[in-house]
Chains A and B, each alone.
Chain A
Amino acid sequence: MIDIEGLSYQYAGRDVLALDNVCLSVESGSCFGLLGPNGAGKTSLVSILTGLLDFSVGRIAIDGLDFSCERKAIQHQSALVPQEYAFYPKLSVLENLIFFGGVLGLRGSDLKRRIEECIGFCQLESVCSRRATTFSGGLKRRLNLAIGLLGSPKLLYLDEPTVGIDPQSRQFILERIQELNSNGTTIIYTSHYMEEVEKLCDSMAIIDHGKVLIQGKKHQLLRDCHPQLVMEFTDKLDDDFMAGLHQLLPNPERLGLNDRVLRYDGELNSAQLASIHTLVSSQNLSLLRSEYGELGLEQLFLSLTKKALRD
């Protein structure tokens, strides 16, 4: 569906690249999670894919169409549901849908049918004639989604579609997205909620500093991540302890120490784990935390993008 090769983008007046040689592939009919910390380049990438930003370096093909040459045709097949409530608060639900439907070139019975379908799909029937300015966050999100669906897009970009809403509304929107995806719509989903991405998406990419750090099928990415042992101590670790630990670990080169946090990437059996804990006890070390297991998406995300705060 989407093939991106060597895409780079730099904002005017900035020194660093917002996107740096991005290569990405999204299969048709998939629900693709695009993850990354603030300022990683997600919005820039989505903005380019939806035609909001012009790129000059790289190549994008969507459904076999070259983006540079066939932008309008591509835009007619896709829709953006932005993070902002991108509609007119002073207009009612119906008036908003009539306007955006008109912009998409829908008329007469086609427009009426699509409006009815979208209203039904997002369950906005009871608030059709109400002005959007009076809506709760959940209703606004549903209207935002309904507008995005008016043109029956094959490819739907959803930018943080569940921010600032209650759990019920979030659940509703996630179910709708799943339904859309199961009906064949390709979804590009950006979110900071890892559990949402883990639940919805079948493939994903993690992007940071404008570069794609990892991409692929979700289960494959999580499976390929090594189990990890993390131990955090109250005091600094001495050389004797580290030497003892090296002898217990099957691949000691995978051991890392950062101040008082010890990290080992690799599988350990229960006997090896027990030996490590015995060593800790024998050295009278005070342990703050000890974790062992496969990485979840959040741990994978943090391990790749690091923990430093992003402004």
Chain B
Amino acid sequence: MFKAAIMKEFRLVARDWHSLLVLFVMPAVFIIIMSLAMQRQFGEHQSVSYDAVLIDADDSALSQQLQELLETSSLLQFEAPSESKKRLLMQVETEKLHLLVYIPKHFSTNFDDAAEQSFPVEVYLAPSINEASKMLITAALREAYAKTRLNRFLADLNGDETMADDMEDIVAQDAIRVEYAFGDERKVPSAVQQSVPAWLVFAMFFVVIPVSTTLINERQLGTLARLKSMSVSPALFLLAKVIPYLVINQVQLIVMLLIGVYIVPLLGGDTLSLGHSYIGIVLLSLAVGIAAMGFALLIAVSAKTTEQATSLGGVGNILCGALGGIMVPKFIMPDAMQQATMISPMSWGLEGFLDLFLRQGSVVDIVPELGVLVSFGIALGMLALFLFRKVV
């Protein structure tokens, strides 16, 4: 009976093009789009830079020195000012420029006395510049300003320009080295490292759609009644549904990983790094599959119509995804929200994959995730079986 039921489920899902689209095409598209679209957020390939225009109204040696220092910053890409301050400000307002730096006339007056500085450098930011970018830009401007002041101070102190030249070397020295904890450049967090596991976990939970529509159709068509009259065990019947979808989950895993490793780089994204625990990947994928099937079976036996099932299942998945760090990476959430992600099984699945892919974890490192996901799946599966016995 078991073999026949498994074959039947495979045939049904293979002929359900809508479900196949949801299970395979939707996550593939999400992975490609998100991996490419979020590259900048993860600082990949191209460094972050802002289009800027600098107007030097002072036109002094000091202001020119400041301008030169600012132009060495990789953060700011300066264009020559071609219009008036007023017109350039309008361009900033309308996002045609990210920022306008204005060195006012008499900037160099009282330059030596910071407390008396009455003509500060003015910076105008576009509305889209967020707080983090504002801090970056401010830091770059302050660094240039500080260097200008320091140069001036050292030159005044010694009357020796060579000391000021040495200052460049002193500041440029690699006194602070910043790198990711895992050393190897390929393992640096990237959009693809976040997108592939996130949308893979999300897609795995979408087995709720074919599972519930099949079960509800079986109920509505009287097939379930016929099977019950053939003394088919409800537990075996539900279990026969679990196996094919666990296999489908593994196929999803392989397809999405291949997209991350081969397709995304072809389109200009980074290459997905899989870590070194392939057994861990398989075990975690099975655990996510078990959790997804528990959820799917519960929805399938609870819903009375396919419309109810697709609504409940779809909305449930989207909520779990939003809460679980699928749509918004967990690390950019506030602490309270990060704690709240724990209630979403998708979060546990995603964290498990990030442990393996990003943090170079092994099976031992994902034991908590495996435990939570399998327990979640079994608990919901048992509840589904309890309800199924009542409704059939």
A residues neighboring B (CB under 8 Å): 47, 50-52, 71-72, 75-76, 78-80, 82-91, 95, 98-105, 147, 151
Contacts and interface: CB of A to CB of B under 8 A. Distances in A.
B109 interface: no
Contacts of B232: 103
30 contacts: A47-B225, A50-B229, A51-B228, A51-B229, A52-B228, A71-B231, A72-B231, A75-B229, A80-B225, A80-B229, A82-B222, A82-B225, A83-B222, A84-B225, A85-B222, A87-B221, A87-B223, A90-B11, A90-B12, A91-B8, A91-B11, A95-B8, A99-B4, A102-B4, A102-B7, A103-B4, A103-B227, A103-B230, A147-B226, A151-B230
Contacts of A87: 221, 223, 226
Contacts of A105: 1
B228 A86 contact: no
Contacts of B16: 90
A103 to B, nearest CB: 5
Contacts of B227: 103
Given A72-B231, A88-B8, A90-B11, A103 B225 contact: no
B222 A84 contact: yes
Contact of A84 (B8, B221, B228): B221
Contact of B221 (A50, A80, A86): A86
A75 B221 contact: no
Contacts of B226: 80, 82, 86-87, 100, 147
A102 B222 contact: no
B15 interface: yes
By secondary structure, the B interface counts as: helix
Among B5, B226, B227, which residue has the most Cβ atoms of chain A within 10 A?
B226
Contacts of B7: 98-99, 102
Contacts of B177: none
Nearest to A90: B15
Interface string B305-342: 00000000000000000000000000000000000000
Given A82-B226, A99-B5, A104-B230, 11 more contacts: A50-B229, A71-B231, A79-B229, A90-B12, A99-B7, A102-B7, A103-B1, A103-B5, A103-B227, A103-B230, A105-B1
Interface in B1-31: 1, 3-5, 7-8, 11-12, 15-16
Contacts of A71: 231
B11 A86 contact: no
B84 to A, nearest CB: 70
A85 B229 CA distance: 15
Contacts of B222: 82-86
A55 to B, nearest CB: 15
Contacts of A78: 229
A71 B11 CA distance: 31
B221 A51 contact: no
